[in-house]
Amino acid sequence: MMRKYWGKEMMSLPTTEATLKTANPVGELAAGVSQATPIMLGYVVLAMAFGILAREAGLTILETVAMSVIVFAGASQFIAAGMFAAAMSPATIILTTFLVNLRHILMSASLAPYLRGLKLHSYALLGWGITDETFAVHSTVYRERRRHHWFIYGTNFAAYAAWVSGTVIGALFGSIVPGIDQLPLGFALPAMFICLLVMQLSDRLVLYAGVLAAGLSLLFGQLWEGNWNIILATVLTATIASGWEKWKISG
């Protein structure tokens, strides 16, 4: 039950090279797309809400869609739309976007051990699609089984397509279909997170780490503005939990 030796577990999985040779990339791509269904559902709705909001904030249709095409990061886009509406300085908008999205550093780093031995352009493309939601799916899937990296392309592309098309719909037709963004369809994403969180709970220490991170995130959220609570809670939790684990193994 207890998986104590993470290093050993990692080694028992087939290497990326072996997966690359045996897996069928197109099949993996399709599997990735189908894995993305809950993400797509949540993204279409949230992106429509963003499209409507950004238009109300005074952005043109082109700018609204461009933001989803170029930035592809939900929370920061909502915040930026508000800042555009408040006519804040470009530097403030860009810096805020950077800070809000900085948490992806941790996600990007934690996928690295699973994705060794690829070409640089693959990393460039894989990194592009990292969002809270795609990361949540991939970190859960890869813990169980090593997949071809085209699986990730599939999930990311499907999520991206949903995000961009939802934005287009919201920006163009948002005012025509009132009320669609009032439905609680955005709950698809928290619901998905709940299931992925449960699937992460492989041993007791991981469970405690989750409880600790939740508490720290709430605490730091009360103390500071912005998204710092996510980064700080994650860094502190991983440090405490891994330190505890090492201390217990070494004696």
Partner 1 sequence: MENLWIIVAMGAVTYLPRAIPLAVLAQIKIPEGFIRWLRFVPVAVLAALLAPELLLRDGAFDLSLSNHYLLAAVPCFLVAVKTKNLLLTVGVGLAAAILLQSYLPGV
Smaller CB separation from partner 1, 37 or 172: 37
CA angle, 63 then 80 then 152, to 5°: 80
Contact 118, 16 (CB under 8 A): yes
Binding partner 1 (rule: CB under 8 A), the pick from 73, 158, 159, 162 is 73
Q: Which two tokens stand for residue 81?
A: 């739309």
Smaller CB separation from partner 1, 104 or 172: 104
* Site membership for partner 1, residue 164 (CB under 8 A): no
* Site membership for partner 1, residue 71 (CB under 8 A): yes
The C-alpha atoms of residue 85 and residue 226 are separated, in whole angstroms, by 18
- Kindly identify the residues of this chain, within the stretch 102-161, that bind partner 1 according to CB under 8 A: 102-113, 115-118, 120, 123-124, 126-128, 130, 132, 135-137, 139-140, 143
C-beta atoms surrounding 134 within 10 Å: 24
Shortest separation between residue 93's beta carbon and partner 1, angstroms: 6
Using CB under 8 A, which of the segments 25-33, 37-45, 160-168, 169-177 binds partner 1?
A: 37-45
Binding partner 1 (rule: CB under 8 A), the pick from 18, 86, 177, 211 is 211
Binding partner 1 (rule: CB under 8 A), the pick from 190, 247, 250, 251 is 190
- Kindly identify the residues of this chain, within the stretch 217-236, that bind partner 1 according to CB under 8 A: 217-218, 221, 229-230, 233-234
Binding partner 1 (rule: CB under 8 A), the pick from 13, 20, 30, 41 is 41
The dihedral over CA atoms of 74, 76, 77, 79, expressed in degrees to the nearest 10, equals 130
CA angle, 157 then 161 then 163, to 5°: 115
Contact 58, 88 (CB under 8 A): no
169: CB partners within 8 A, 6+ apart = 44, 47, 48, 51
Smaller CB separation from partner 1, 158 or 209: 209
